[in-house]
Amino acid sequence: MSATAMVSGTSRRSFLLGAAGAFGAGAAGALGTARTASAAGSSAAAGRGAAAAATVYIASDSTAQTYSSGYYPQAGWGQKLSSYFTSDITVANRAIGGRSSRSFVQQGRLAAIHGLIRPGDYLFVQFGHNDATVSNAERYTPPADYKEYLRNDYIRATRALGATPVVVTPVSRRSYNVSTGKFNVSFPAYVDAAKAVAQEEGAALVDLSAASRAYLDGVGVEASKGIFLWLEAGRYPNFPGGAQDDTHFQERGAIEMARLVSRAVARLGLPLSGEVVPAAAG
């Protein structure tokens, strides 16, 4: 395990629960752009009454984060997730770009969630894209370390607060086999680690890696440009020069990925599963 991740589960949990206060009110402002409109009431989640049955918190990276209108048509799947749940569910999207499973913890962002989360709530955790960035020491988290962060910080520490962790495997990039036209497994070591730790800990798993890849195979290589942030020059004011981005989504892609997540949740047998709207569960 790398030096940055050589922290015991107990000491990590102490950090998480202790850092929530230190991160404090400043976290709300720093993370304010990384949440859905329906999550605007998450500040009231601590004293939640009948207004919401549960809150779904999302800890993730730029593939899931909420983007302001200044980035349109770029969007993240967490930004669109609330559309697939009943009005009893609040989605608090705390995903933010450039974070790995490790840096999200070390920056106090998970502690901020744990400071708000309540029994009956959920934490969806999807990392892997930035964990795999070997060239960036701030982000890079080897697969073995990633697995232990998921185990100790995201699964066990969340359960200790009475909430339910849901492990989400990293969503696919626009990476495909040029000979077959089939999409490759993105970040396979991290996908395997996420699946393994979910099984070992008995945690709910959304295999977004497999679901997104199957969806992209059905769409096809060329049409997948309409899912990812491939934009023509001059079409969108926010991207005057266009874009050819194989990682991030435009609005249609974010909507489709959110649908895949919610469809998987509908099959998990959790109380939350009954809150998925029929259009997504089919």
Active site residues: 62, 232, 248
- Within a 10 A sphere around the Cβ of 59, how many other Cβ atoms? 29
Is the Cα dihedral 128, 130, 132, 138 positive or negative?
negative
User: What is the rounded radius of gyration, in angstroms, for the C-alpha atoms of the chain?
Assistant: 18
* Sequence-distant (≥ 6) Cβ neighbours of residue 84 within 8 angstroms: 258, 259, 261, 262, 276, 277, 279, 280
Q: What are phi and psi of 98, to 5 degrees?
A: 80, 5
Is the Cα dihedral 134, 136, 137, 139 positive or negative?
negative
